[in-house]
Amino acid sequence: MNLSEHIKFSPKVEQAIKENRPVIALESTIISHGMPYPQNVETAIACENIAREHGVEPATIAIIQGKLCVGLTEKEIDYLGKTGLSVTKASRRDLPVLIARKQDGATTVAATMIIAAMAGIKVFATGGIGGVHRGAETTMDISADLEELAQTPVAVICAGAKSILDLGLTLEYLETKGIPVLGYKTDKLPAFFTNTSEFNVDYRMDSAQEIADTISAQRSLGFSGGMLIANPIPEEYAMDAKVIDKAIADAIEEAEQKGIHGKDTTPFLLAKIVEITGGNSLKANIQLVFNNVRLASEIATKLQF
């Protein structure tokens, strides 16, 4: 089998690529594992609409019946949203098995990057990346997202690393792997739900054009890895740092008590934080994703190769 036998493009995405129009990738784990139904489906469709409003074709990525789908129909998005946690949360290690078994999978940041790169898509908008989990010095719990950023040439726009993580160690890991961390109109690494952070990004960028030029320079050098663009949640939607830190601490404590670990950790913690904050964290999550899609779309329209 060759690669073309595994990838399935939606007609809209295929046409946009043929016409050399800007395309951005969107992940599907946020649909099946990141939010409850129907907000997950509403958010995914709204993200696609935001991209199109900016003149960009969205390519929501998932595995459907063993096919690496680059671009989904609304029916497929609704299926992933309704099926929820029963859909495999798919990272790099899961792709060969899902293809061989002709099963479904919702792609994480890592898997979305892989499939986007296969499809020639250079920009990807998500909520927040995975990273080094708290206590990783003993558990070795480090997201595959970081390794993927080190080896896959896709620029990832996010609201920083998820605030349930150890942000300092995540930045150290990114530095070791040579991954540039750019802050859009900020010197600090955003902490997902909040912009309060003691950690600096590598470089501040004040325009989408400057970011696009930096991505183009990285690609022209032939570097194998990607780039992380940290885009703070709009201030009007940001949560109070003390409130969210307390919610995170309580959620982590419950996860430890219940023995939850590995790839089940993040979905559990995010759902628990939504419960603790009375749904406020979900509202913030949705708005930061919208904000990242807007910036990714602006960057994609300015990329020159």
Contact 101, 128 (CB under 8 A): no
The Cβ of residue 36 has, within 10 Å, a number of other Cβ atoms equal to 12
User: In degrees, to the nearest 5, what angle opens at C-alpha 74 toward C-alphas 40 and 65?
Assistant: 95
Strands 105-107 and 57-64 turn out to be antiparallel
Q: Is the pLDDT of residue 263 over 80?
A: no
pLDDT for 1 equals 45
Phi, psi of 155 (to 5 degrees): -85, 125
The 3-state DSSP class for residue 101 equals helix
Mean pLDDT score, 128-146: 80
User: In degrees, to the nearest 5, what angle opens at C-alpha 150 toward C-alphas 214 and 227?
Assistant: 25
For residue 66, name the pLDDT band (cuts at 50, 70, 90): very high
Which active-site residues does the annotation give?
Answer: 27, 162
pLDDT for 179 equals 96
Residue with tokens 């590995």: 262
Contact 64, 104 (CB under 8 A): yes
DSSP letters spanning 127-177: S-B--BBTTHHHH--B-HHHHHHHHS--EEEESBB-TTB-HHHHHHHHHHT
pLDDT for 247 equals 85
Return the CA Rg of the chain: 18
Q: Is the pLDDT of residue 182 over 90?
A: yes
Residue with tokens 């959620």: 251
Structural domains in the chain, sorted by start: 1-121 (3.40.1790.10), 128-305 (3.40.1790.10)
**What count of Cα atoms within 13 Å lies in the side-chain half-sphere of residue 64?**
20
How far is 108 from 34, CA to CA, in rounded Å?
10
Helix (H) or strand (E) holding 281: helix 280-302
For residue 304, name the pLDDT band (cuts at 50, 70, 90): low
pLDDT for 3 equals 66
Mind listing the pLDDT tens digit for each residue in 232-250? 999 999 988 888 888 888 8
pLDDT for 35 equals 87
Phi, psi of 241 (to 5 degrees): -60, -40
> 291: which residues sit within 8 A by CB, 6+ positions away?
159, 231, 233, 234
Q: Is the pLDDT of residue 58 over 70?
A: yes
Paired with 145 in beta bridges are none
Strands 155-158 and 88-90 turn out to be unpaired
The Cβ of residue 136 has, within 10 Å, a number of other Cβ atoms equal to 17
Per-chain mean pLDDT for the chain: 92
Mind listing the pLDDT tens digit for each residue in 165-177? 888 999 999 999 9
Lookup: tokens for 280: 């406020």
How far is 194 from 198, CA to CA, in rounded Å?
12
Q: Which CA distances in Å does 9 have to 89, 117, 138, 146?
A: 21, 13, 42, 26
Phi, psi of 218 (to 5 degrees): -60, -45
The Cβ of residue 145 has, within 10 Å, a number of other Cβ atoms equal to 27
pLDDT for 245 equals 82
pLDDT for 2 equals 65
Residue 190 DSSP label: -
